[in-house]
Structure 1
């Protein structure tokens, strides 16, 4: 499964650089295409010529050394890779990546990367255990980076403990297993746009119109789509939960902002899942100053917001379109009408008055209404399990469409 896979190996400066040379050789022998970026410090341990001979590719060391005028090297490398591996990864480089610093060829390339990124730390045992390093690793985990834990043993500094770069043979096996599993993922190569949470429609700088949506269902769907290999764009209103690692997060406030972002992505999307509880109305007038209370009642004139799901249905060009219907009565009637009117492929309907199915809960009780006419009622289950069932339905639809979606 490694044959012809494109692996970008980023080598930073530590004594374990010699293992990176052996890793390059073993990956090439396994049939992978390997390109190498060396940090300035890494060059002090092993020369670029060594990696060039082993990889049979030009080695990159300088962000400003643009040999091919047709491309920008660090962008081209980021786009080229199926997998990016930083091995060895020093504490310094880990800190730069966690802070978004781009001051050399490796860090600049990684900021532009959309491929999976693996970090293989190698450093002194006490450095690896330092709170700053632990915190930086946690930040990278939140970005969706994966880690090859260092092994324990005799270190170059003379200590014995955890900090040795994992052996090249083991890393090759981990990469092989990754690509085997990746082939089994149902949404590999697909772009999935998920909207989540509420919107806020501004009355004045201190007041707004919103709803009780917490974003839990949408975030669970984004996480499951990511697990199935998709490039996930999560367009979210204001919520209090952490986004799944590895998704592209776009934060919005109003229905208008959410509409604009979704439309920007629509032509590139294979699947759109409209989970967000978008406000149906907004104040006709939004004040830039706080409106002071006065004697007697007050009236706010409301106007309709854009119907995002309807607009998506009208402009659909092969995308799988999934909508949600949060109802309090006549569930089936309203869901079927929405399915037809919005030109959706699936409507996920729930009665928010049912115990275990409302906003803010960790569970849901939904019924799936499909364009084919079939109806699937699901029992009460966690929102994570509901997300898995919805993603299964989406992958089934993609297969029925020839597996292409909008790709």
Structure 2
């Protein structure tokens, strides 16, 4: 897939790198894209709208209240028109607005109104780029589904040398075309992902649960959407934002998750079960608050239904991936689970290792397929782990054809 015929909105914000956006406009047009440029007030201090109009051969938008066609609301019309949006240069100010949902000009308002994929090419002073606030905003935007074209390192207009230089226009175009190709990886594929813990009621006040945060499953859902999948995320209680474009089903107990998964399962192509589901629950939950009864208390527990085991037994065409969070002999126990539950692959991690626990933003895992293919993924962000897992699943699906 390339840019020919694609409707591209190029958002230009106020930095010296705005001059490179002129060349980027030309490159996009040469690649066959239909380009509409939106400029912030600050961007116009560096380059005139007339320059972009001449290069794009389209009107340039600079003012939210300048309605060029009375029958249309400009920022809504442009937002709906776009197949994709490119922000180059993206200044620290623009990143802050987007990360916090601020819409106070034509560009930021259009971005909030659009459902098109957004590619962000930051450009700023090296110290600004490294500032904790900017890094927080970048992380938030990544979690919101924005895709980044990292700035290069070199001599900056401010005189510093370091990371913060807008990537070259040719590279930006190439990266976008590569990302567009990736978005076809799971085209027309339905992926079901489970995430988070479950809660098992003891009484109206108390419940049993576990340390799962849901971050790994949510990261997989986020990346699967970006790879073109139709994603259903069934999640236990998790204090996380649902990734854009994901169908979200909220559950609480293991029984709730079992019912939701079984209902969705027949129509899925891939199932990735990252949730930490309770193996046991109180056999007789109390309807009233349980009062203190001396020094010791014994509660009778019963097994919950094994969701992954049932999925393996019912599997027809689905590619089934399980997770194994272990503390001892992770590979041995993980491989046993792979075979016993008729999985196509399993993702194994030792939660006692630094950076590989439940609540962090990083993970270190081993991917094992039923064919014996074993891939060790080093410590990295859960988003990067999710990408690697999905790339391996896509490869195995392709090899099975």
Aligned to 1:405: none
Q: Is the 8 A contact 2:185 2:394 kept in 1?
A: no
Structure 1 residue 57: Cα displacement:
2.9
Return closer, same or farther for 1:37/1:7 CA change in 2, 3 Å cut-off.
same
Which residue of 329, 339, 344 maps to 2:314? 339
Shift of 1:11: 0.9
1:201 aligns with 2:200: yes
Q: Deviation digits for residues 113-145 of structure 1, max 9, x if unmatched?
A: 554432222333443343433443344344443
Alpha carbons 1:142, 1:246 under 8 Å: kept: no
Change (3 A) 1:98 1:220: closer
| Structure 2: gaps (5+ residues) | 345-368, 378-384
Q: How far is 1:69 from its partner?
A: 7.9
Quote the residue 2:47 is aligned against.
46
| Counterparts of residues 315-354 of structure 1 (less than 5 Å) | 324-325=308-309, 338-339=313-314, 345-346=318-319
Distance (Å, rounded) in 1 between the aligned partners of 2:88 and 2:396: 39
Q: 1:366 and 2:341 equivalent? A: no
Q: Is the 8 A contact 2:271 2:318 kept in 1?
A: no
Q: Distance in 1 between matches of 2:173 and 2:219?
A: 32
Give per-residue Cα distances to partners, 1:277-323, cap 9 Å, x unaligned: 55697888786x85423469787899x99x9x9xxxxxxxxxxxxx7
Q: Trace 1:257-296 onto structure 2 (pairs within 5 A).
A: 271-276=270-275, 278=277, 290-294=289-293
1:191/1:268 contact within 8 Å kept: yes
Cα distance between partner residues in 2 of 1:282 and 1:58: 65
* Alignment partner, residue 147 of structure 1: 149
| Structure-2 residue corresponding to 1:403 | none
Aligned mates of 1:358, 1:387 — CA distance in 2: 23
Contact 1:235/1:261 (8 A) holds in 2: yes
TM-superposed deviation, 1:64: 5.2
Q: Which residue of 1 aligns with 2:348?
A: none
Does structure 2 retain, via aligned residues, the 8 Å contact 1:17–1:42?
Answer: yes
Match of 1:83 in 2: 84
Counterpart position of 2:364 = none
**Could you say which residue in structure 2 is the equivalent of 1:318?**
none
* Aligned residue number for residue 355 of structure 2: none
The two structures, once aligned, show a CA RMSD in angstroms of: 5.1
Instruction: Flag the 1:95–1:298 CA change in 2: closer, same or farther, 3 A.
Output: same
In structure 2, what is the Cα distance between the partners aligned to 1:257 and 1:191?
Answer: 21
Structure 2 match to 1:161: 161
Distance 2:84 2:274 in 1: 31
Q: Deviations over 1:186-223 (max 9, x none)?
A: 21464533112331134446521446877688568547
Return the alpha-carbon distance in structure 2 between the equivalents of residues 21 and 254 of structure 1: 52
Question: Which whole-Å deviations, capped at 9, do the CAs of 1:236-261 have from their partners, x for residues lacking one?
Answer: 33579x99998859594504876898
Counterpart residue number, 2:182: 182
TM-score (norm 2): 0.65
Question: What is the rounded CA distance, in whole Å, between the counterparts of 1:103 and 1:128 in structure 2?
Answer: 23
Give the secondary structure class of the aligned counterpart of 2:308: strand
After the TM superposition, which residues 246-265 of structure 1 pair with which residues of structure 2 at under 5 Å, given as runs?
Answer: 248=246, 252=250, 254-255=252-253
Does the 8 Å contact 2:233/2:246 carry over to 1? yes
Mapped pair 1:12 → 2:13? yes
Q: 1:48 to 1:386 in 2, by over 3 A?
A: closer
CA distance in 2, matches of 1:98, 1:142: 10
* Cα distance, 1:273 vs structure 2: 4.2
> Counterparts of 1:188 and 1:79 in 2: how far apart (Å)?
22
Does the 8 Å contact 1:5/1:33 carry over to 2?
yes
Cα pair 2:196 2:275 within 8 Å, conserved: yes
Q: Give me the whole-angstrom Cα distance separating, in 2, the residues matched to 1:110 and 1:263.
A: 37
Q: CA 1:386 to 1:271, structure 2 compared with 1: closer, same or farther past 3 Å?
A: closer
Show structure 1 runs of 5+ residues with no match.
310-322, 326-333, 400-407
Shift in Å, 1:92:
0.8
Task: Report the secondary structure of 1:119's partner residue.
Answer: strand
Relative to the length of structure 1, the TM-score reads 0.64
Following superposition, the deviation at residue 339 of structure 1 comes to 1.0
Query: Offset at 1:276?
Result: 3.5
